[in-house]
Amino acid sequence: MFGKRAPRLNTVTKTLADSGPEGGLRPCPVVPLNDNARMILRVYSGSPAHTLGLDVGWRLLSINGEGPSEHIIRAAEMKESSFLFADAGGSRCFALEDQKWPFGMVAVPWPGQSLHERVASADFDLEDLLSFWREGIFWPYSDLIEPLMTYLSVSPGLAGLLARRNAVHERIAKHHDFTAMMVLGLANALDRNFDAAAFYVNAAYESADRADQGSYAPIFYSLGLYTESLIYEARGDRQEAMAAIQQASVMTPEVMAIRSRVSELTEQPLSTDMPPWTLDNFPVDYRLPAFDPIQERNSPFANVSLSKAIASLGDQELLIIMVMGGYRSNYYYNRDLARLADLHHAFPGTIAGVHVIVAGTYALDPDHRRDCEDHAARLGLPFSIIWDEEDAVSRRIAPAGFPARFMIDQSGKILATELLMDEEGYWSAFSRMSALTPKADCEAP
């Protein structure tokens, strides 16, 4: 599917793709592969990365001759750079010279020794470890067990593993990073260490309880349920395995690992259903005050009307709604907003506005929010904080978690509800916009 040209795309998607790299990939001499590369886990149809011919399993070897660290990638997203790629087998290399960053791909650190060392030393992004599972790629996890144990057995300010294995387990169970602990449970289940997997899953839940947050990301619980499903099946309880994975599917239906697991246990083909709400109209025609309850982000508008915002959309524009419930912000909102700002900067004229509907002031990391909202403001992303004192929008939608995301076109249809931090919701919206465009308006890419 990925790496092949889309059959026919309308001018919206073609414009986006043409805004990316123009010179194309140039074959170049093969260079030795190294652990500092990035592995491409997904390429979105119609994106610049897709148009280039990049594919799942390829490696991004370097940017301007340097290893593609997060810092280097961020710089390359803002200016033309030169990139070096290798195909999945490492037998061919390709250069992309003096071009824009190829948006539309998920590229994470190669799961080799370099990543293992970074995990052990707490110098890693947990989303990278979750990304393998999201995409149904399981082989990296076995080798992540020891690095994760090293990381989780070291309390802040202390160093080194404890001498006895049981003591290590007990130290890990007391760690505050409950999501990393859940990943360790998954890794053990995939490695068929089911007793250890059950121990770490339960310890992760207990660690989350101790944290006493207002709520938790659905991905945390769905990862736990997925792992429980593997454990139940290994113990011969297929009914409980089915119940766990179906509950996970309700929480995060977009996760490939969960969709594949449902298909496996039900012995049915992989579901191709679109996410809930897709192609429906937004269920609440709100008119709410543009007001930030913590008074950090002022708006020039007194009130914001959904119907007026939709009526002002052009035929290549999206209105994006992020429903936060009782949150003013959280980790996924922060990451989503920052990525939307990057996409707005790279593809001007595609995001007409972002409505952030809040009904509370709760925030886990205010500094992270300020950094991300400052970044969005610097790049000119038109976002408004909207106050829903009665929480009417959130109660009508009843999402599994926050933010609930909605990408809406000029007809008022919801085109996508997927994550934005990895760009999936953005590219899915334009892909569905293409499918809804009359054939006469389409042209080959």
Query: Could you tell me the pTM of the whole model?
Result: 0.89
For residue 403, cis peptide bond before it (omega within 30 degrees of 0)? yes
- For tokens 């909102």, the residue is 333
DSSP secondary structure letters along 276-302:
TTTTSBPS---EEE---TTSSS--S-S
Pairing of strands 318-323, 404-408: antiparallel
Q: What is the pLDDT along the chain (445 residues), one digit of tens a residue?
A: 223 323 333 444 444 545 444 458 999 999 888 889 999 999 999 999 999 999 999 999 999 999 999 999 999 999 999 999 999 999 999 999 999 999 999 999 999 999 999 999 999 999 999 999 999 999 999 999 999 999 998 754 434 444 445 567 788 888 999 999 999 999 999 999 999 999 999 999 999 999 987 678 899 999 999 999 999 999 999 999 999 999 999 999 889 999 999 999 999 998 888 888 999 999 999 999 999 999 999 777 789 999 999 999 999 999 999 999 999 999 999 999 999 999 999 999 999 999 999 999 998 889 999 999 999 999 999 999 999 999 999 999 999 899 999 999 999 999 999 999 999 999 999 999 998 876 545 332 2
Strand partners, 405: 322
DSSP secondary structure letters along 381-428:
--EEEEE-TT-HHHHHH--SSSSEEEEE-TTSBEEE-S-STTSHHHHH
Domains observed in the chain = 9-109 (2.30.42), 113-266 (1.25.40), 287-438 (3.40.30.10)
Classify burial at 444, counting beta carbons within 10 Å of its beta carbon; exposed 0-12, middle 13-18, buried 19 or more. exposed
CB of 96 closer than 8 Å to CB of 21 = yes
CB of 44 closer than 8 Å to CB of 50 = yes
d(CA 243, CA 245): 6
- Render the burial of 81-95: b for 16+ CB within 10 Å, e for the rest: bebbbbbeeeeebbb
Mean pLDDT, rounded, of the chain = 89
